[in-house]
Amino acid sequence: VQLQASGGGSVQAGGSLTLSCAASGLTFRNYVTGWFRQAPGEEREFVARGNWSATYYADSVKGRFTISRDNAKNTGCLQMRSLKLEDSAVYYCAAGVWDTSVAREYSYWGQGTQVTVSS
């Protein structure tokens, strides 16, 4: 099983980025997919998750980020807009069987992709 996250980069505050997560060895539609992020010196925090019928977001990103997935391509996506300085972090995609925002409950993780927001 492998999750490959991509799409990170550097962007100015107010800009947009779209992260992708390609899965191999598992079928995304059978799992809850999540995005988490970790800034230097901070714990990994929940950003967004999607199950079979609903999506959930951290308060800090609600209204700015959108999680989705393309079952046909077996990929997940996190669209980020109106980015803020505090959104800078390494972003991780994850897949698990529990519908939860708790990172340790996810079984599979991507390698992380860096997002840097500058003023």
pLDDT tens digits for 3-21? 999 999 999 999 999 999 9
pLDDT number for residue 52: 83
pLDDT per position as a tens digit, 45-56: 999 999 988 999
- Strands (DSSP E) along the chain, which ranges? 2-6, 9-12, 17-24, 32-38, 45-50, 55-57, 65-70, 75-80, 89-96, 108-109, 113-118
Q: Which two tokens stand for residue 20?
A: 């992708």
**Residue 80 carries which side chain, given as an amino acid letter?**
M
pLDDT number for residue 92: 98
The CA-atom distances, in angstroms, between 55 and each of 63, 85, 116 are 12, 24, 25
Q: What angle do CA 72, 44, 31 make, to 5 degrees?
A: 25
Q: Within the chain, which residues score under 70 in pLDDT?
A: none
